[in-house]
Amino acid sequence: MDIVLSGIRPTGLLHLGNYLGALINFVKMQDENKCYFFIADIHSLTTHPLAEHLQENIKEMIAEYLAAGIDPEKSALYVQSDVPEIIELYVYLNMNAYLGELERCTSFKDKARKQPDNLNAGLLTYPCLMAADILIHRATKVPVGKDQEQHLEMTRTFANRFNRMYNCNIFPEPTAYNFGHELVKIPGLDGSGKMGKSEGGDNCLYLSDEPNVLKKKIMRALTDSGPTQPNQPKPDYINNLFTIMKAVSAPETVAYFDDKWNDCSIRYGDMKKQLFEDVNAFLTPLRERIKDIRSNDEYLAKVVRQGAEQARESARKTMIEVRKAVGIKSLI
């Protein structure tokens, strides 16, 4: 049995990238492993310091997690801020994380470019908080998309360093997990790379987007005037559409448009219409389940209360060992 942990920031709702990268496949793991799924609300303060929309997003995301198939009787589904032990572990990990390695982290450099006016200490120590999320349950498998690979590498470094520094063996090495396959990277619609809530605009297809919204976003996706030579390599922004299609459409559909690309007869309008039909068919049952679950606030609160209780129990056990290893003893 493995301990599996998956987390998502509530700065926006769940999009197709989150769903395919960090959620859908892992729902199957609930029967054989102890799984923790959580919403990283404290992390989101690093970019959105005012928590004004957080609570609504969190409720919607809990409904989205449940609609994706998480069974709260098998797995713990909780909100990060309901488990204060995580913050205590984060503080201890900060003491063993070095400025140089934190500054070199790609996500920090990226944020330094995107929000130069709010380059706060939380952004710098973001990998320590993420490590605390994982190490608090001594998780060994962490379902993530490709963009989180470096954070996982840093978590391993912090875990090993802690064990060495305090001459203990409290933390196992967690690995980024995707059933032994390459980690997933679902591209966005604007040609810029990954589908992500921080990319803004029409880049993301959200699980809760209504069909007319999905259609508008897909029909506007970046394309060009089409290939001029047979069997040309596809530019990234066209490849992106094919990658999304591979995730939601039948292989014959992808092969059909691939052939059309290769013989230069592709009509992007047709491809986008087909992509819309397939994305919509993929998301419709999910969207309906989300609406159904979201309307029951009492149930959502019960689920996260139960999840937090389980998470705190596991966290409490880890923290007893951590405090002992560090040498923190109370006089009370």
List residues near ligand TYM by CB under 6 A: 5-9, 17-18, 21-22, 40, 43, 130, 133-134, 142, 144-145, 147-148, 184-186, 194-196
Catalytic one of 197, 215, 217, 272: 197
Cα gap 39→64, rounded to integer Å: 11
243 by Cβ neighbours in 10 Å (0-12 / 13-18 / 19+) ranks as: middle
Q: In the complex with ligand TYM, which residue's Cβ is closer, 9 or 294?
A: 9
Residue 171 corresponds to which tokens in the numbers above? 């933390």
Cα gap 244→254, rounded to integer Å: 10
> Could you confirm whether 194 is annotated as catalytic?
yes
Task: List the alpha helices (DSSP H) in the chain.
Answer: 16-18, 41-44, 54-67, 85-95, 99-104, 106-114, 121-124, 126-135, 149-165, 211-219, 236-248, 251-262, 268-294, 297-326
Q: In the complex with ligand TYM, which residue's Cβ is closer, 192 or 262?
A: 192
> Could you confirm whether 197 is annotated as catalytic?
yes
Catalytic one of 194, 215, 217, 272: 194
Residue 283 corresponds to which tokens in the numbers above? 């998301």
Catalytic one of 34, 59, 111, 272: 111
Phi-psi region for residue 245, left (φ > 0), alpha (ψ -120 to 50) or beta?
Answer: alpha
Q: In the complex with ligand TYM, which residue's Cβ is closer, 18 or 75?
A: 18
Entry field: residues in the chain: 332
> Could you confirm whether 215 is annotated as catalytic?
no
Helix (H, G, I), strand (E, B) or coil at 22: helix
Residue 174 C-beta: closest distance to ligand TYM, Å: 8
Cα gap 6→23, rounded to integer Å: 8
Residue 61 C-beta: closest distance to ligand TYM, Å: 10
Residue 215 C-beta: closest distance to ligand TYM, Å: 20
Residue 69 C-beta: closest distance to ligand TYM, Å: 16
Residue 308 C-beta: closest distance to ligand TYM, Å: 16
Q: In the complex with ligand TYM, which residue's Cβ is closer, 40 or 303?
A: 40
Q: In the complex with ligand TYM, which residue's Cβ is closer, 14 or 290?
A: 14
Q: Which residues are catalytic?
A: 111, 194, 197
